[in-house]
A = this chain, B = another copy of it.
Amino acid sequence: MSEVQFKGKKAQEASYQMTTLTTEDKNEALALVAEQIVADKDVILEENKKDIQDGRQKGLTEAVLDRIFLDKARIEGMAEGMRQVIDLKDPIGETLETIEKENGLYIERKRVPIGVVGMIYEARPNVTIDAAALTLKTGNAVILRGSSSAKYSNIALMKSVHKALEKSSVPVGAVQLIEDTSRETAKELFRLNEYLDVLIPRGGKNLIDTVVRESTVPVIETGAGNCHIFIDESAKKSMTEEIVLNAKLQRPSVCNAIETLLIHPAWFEKNGVNLLNLLKENQVEIYGDEAVCEAFPEAKAATEEDWATEYLGLTISVKLVDHVTAAVAHINQYGTRHSEAIITEDDKNAQIFQNGVDAAAVYHNASTRFTDGFEFGYGAEIGISTQKLHARGPMGLPALTSSKFFINGNGQIRK
């Protein structure tokens, strides 16, 4: 039996045992894990050094190395994040629907754990602890498969998790790390339908595309964000400038930052060059359509590819569109169904935009940067879903639950 098969089986067994856990049991385990990783910090930092050394040898960029890097403060941050999950409301057991039938049958639909959650992710070792916390709180077992670049750190963290779980009512099998980070183990996870109820990839577009294409286990697609702002004719100048600069610059490397501006020609004529100059002053490189390049010669000519690109950096593409419906059509063609905004004083156009755009979050007169589990008040997030089944947008604890019909009778049969 392979490592993946073996750990899958263990995780499923654990998930069955976990159906009897109380909220207190789970919170106690979370507190113990938080305590343990802080207590074990020297060992964890020692192992993290090996990842950093390996990474340097392999020539990873400083940005990637920084994502892998741990210090005392970062470990305490992970523990603190885990403790915050203790305070979140436990969704398990919540009654979602009750149906009383004339024959006396009492049907109750309640929230239950999904079962076994698989996570495939890149670089950051803190995902190991975040994912363990959220799945544990929702009564799920989890199989974690991190990247080779954080291998030593992840194994060390997992040792601490297991030490803590041994002292708790949560079975140790509830949190499993696949230590072999070869491509083969990822492929095995894609097809582990026997033991896995869902697979959640967290990372770049390539990772997500591969998982969607190759997995027979149900997948929740997260992350990619080719986000737009449409500046309508009636948009206020100063509000528009503030929102655009915030959505592009507050953190350019994240999924809810914008990549394309769509601008109404009448607004552009009055305020366009000023806005593009503001972006330019902030080191943003601009790719524009013909009209934009004509009015703003520093812009380079945008190609078809630009409209489909998530730059994740200091680059933006700009296009003039005649009407809100043209903006909607452009976004539905090129967008990735993440976060989209309109700036307008025309409520009818706002409504056309928000109804027509096919995305998880549709904004009117606000920055797209708010699409985030913490910002929405969920207290934590396992990712941002860009698909339409099960969960859409920021996924809090309820996204890690399923439901089950509990039906109680006294001998009812179907006529």
Please list the residues of chain A having a beta carbon within 8 angstroms of any beta carbon in chain B. 16, 19-20, 99, 101, 105, 107, 109, 114-115, 193, 197-198, 212-213, 216, 218-220, 236, 239, 242-243, 246-247, 250, 328, 332, 350, 354-356, 358-367, 369-371, 375-377, 387-390, 392-393, 402-414
Q: Are B19 and A409 in contact (CB under 8 A)?
A: no
Measured between beta carbons, the chain B residues less than 8 angstroms from A392 are 402-405
Q: Are B413 and A365 in contact (CB under 8 A)?
A: no
Q: Are B370 and A105 in contact (CB under 8 A)?
A: yes
Contacts known (A212-B216, A332-B16, A389-B220); A239 close to B411, Cβ less than 8 A: yes
Q: Are B219 and A407 in contact (CB under 8 A)?
A: no
* Complex CA distance for A389 and B392, rounded to whole angstroms: 12
* Complex CA distance for A403 and B364, rounded to whole angstroms: 17
Measured between beta carbons, the chain B residues less than 8 angstroms from A193 are 212
Q: Are B105 and A362 in contact (CB under 8 A)?
A: no
A89 to nearest B CB, angstroms?
Answer: 14
Add 11 more A-B contacts to A198-B389, A365-B412, A393-B405 (CB < 8 A). A16-B356, A20-B355, A107-B376, A198-B388, A247-B413, A350-B408, A364-B406, A366-B412, A367-B414, A389-B390, A390-B390
Contacts known (A99-B377, A219-B218); A197 close to B366, Cβ less than 8 A: no
Q: Are A213 and B216 in contact (CB under 8 A)?
A: yes
Contacts known (A114-B388, A332-B16, A392-B402); A364 close to B99, Cβ less than 8 A: no
* Complex CA distance for A413 and B257, rounded to whole angstroms: 12
Contacts known (A213-B216, A361-B405); A411 close to B376, Cβ less than 8 A: no
A200 to nearest B CB, angstroms?
Answer: 11
Q: Are B413 and A243 in contact (CB under 8 A)?
A: yes
A263 to nearest B CB, angstroms?
Answer: 18
| A and B contact pairs by CB, cutoff 8 A, 11 listed | A16-B328, A20-B356, A212-B216, A218-B218, A359-B404, A364-B407, A364-B408, A365-B412, A390-B390, A392-B405, A393-B405
Measured between beta carbons, the chain B residues less than 8 angstroms from A213 are 216
Measured between beta carbons, the chain B residues less than 8 angstroms from A389 are 114, 197-198, 218, 220, 389-390, 402
* Complex CA distance for A371 and B99, rounded to whole angstroms: 13
Partner of A362, one of B332, B377, B390, B404: B404
Measured between beta carbons, the chain B residues less than 8 angstroms from A376 are 99, 107, 405
Q: Are B243 and A411 in contact (CB under 8 A)?
A: yes
A327 to nearest B CB, angstroms?
Answer: 13
Residue of B nearest to A355 (CB): B19
Q: Are B402 and A366 in contact (CB under 8 A)?
A: no
Residue of B nearest to A375 (CB): B414
Measured between beta carbons, the chain B residues less than 8 angstroms from A250 are 413-414
Partner of A246, one of B402, B403, B408, B414: B414
Residue of B nearest to A217 (CB): B212
A37 to nearest B CB, angstroms?
Answer: 30
Measured between beta carbons, the chain B residues less than 8 angstroms from A114 are 388-389
Measured between beta carbons, the chain B residues less than 8 angstroms from A242 are 411, 413
Residue of B nearest to A244 (CB): B413
Contacts known (A115-B358, A218-B219, A218-B387); A370 close to B412, Cβ less than 8 A: yes
Measured between beta carbons, the chain B residues less than 8 angstroms from A375 are 101, 414
Residue of B nearest to A256 (CB): B414
* Complex CA distance for A389 and B398, rounded to whole angstroms: 11
Residue of B nearest to A399 (CB): B389
